[in-house]
Amino acid sequence: MKLVLFENPGDKEPRPGLLTERGIVDIGGYVAQSYTPQLTMQGIIDDFERLRPVLEQQQARGEAKPVDSVRLRPPLPRPGKILCCIGNYWEHAQREPRPLNMFMKNPEAVVGPGDTIRLPKLTEPWIFMHEAELALVIKGPAKEVRREDWRKAIFGYTGLIDVTARGEGRRTWKAGSWLGKSFDTFAPIGPCITTLTRSPTRTMWWSASGMTGNCATITAPTTWSTGCRNWSSSPPRS
């Protein structure tokens, strides 16, 4: 199942829906609406098992709108935290795993599908990179989860583009701090949250405008390369 937030023409706030092969199905009449889109989606995640039968029914038979007739918004507009891993991938089979290292991105950097990544008006940094990641959506509270119990903590997954301002070499600006990861628009997320009933090896898609000047936490492990290899995003502009 694929959960989305979307806007019809003229809408002032995103509404919850399902992304199906037939199009977008509005589920606003079947779930509790909170006072922010983020809290609405968190409520769906928290109450998903109770909601599953009616959502599956709507997925199969609910009225669907063409995807291109609505505007998809980030499915988690303000996640509690965005926690990312550094170098937890193997570029070659002979390479040893690196020690676990992590960093955080600013939740206020989140934008959605089709939104524009805007570069800061600075002379330093002057190099920017974007990397497609598979982001795991954690259903909280989750702490000290045992490896064999990982399914109890992970609700599903979405796509994330990790945009970085680089300094000398590939070092994150400034002096390796979180600043180079957290400028406005540096965390595109979406287009949907796919529940764990589907495999993360399936193709995920992203439509980006390119680089132009407690519950629902996001974790982005770069080791899930199979979930990223089919992505496409516009290249950086000079």
Give pLDDT tens digits for 201-210: 444 444 333 3
pLDDT at 121: 83
Q: Evaluate whether 86 touches 225 at the Cβ level (below 8 Å).
A: no
Residue pointed to by tokens 């979405």: 158
Return the higher-pLDDT residue of 84 and 202. 84
- 111: pLDDT strictly greater than 90: yes
What is the share, in percent, of the chain residues with pLDDT greater than 90?
49
Q: What is the pLDDT of residues 17-64, one digit of tens each?
A: 999 999 999 999 999 999 999 999 999 999 999 999 999 999 999 999
Query: pTM for this structure?
Result: 0.81
Q: Is the pLDDT of residue 237 over 60?
A: no
CA–CA gap between residue 199 and residue 193 (Å, rounded): 12
Give the model's pLDDT for residue 132. Answer: 86
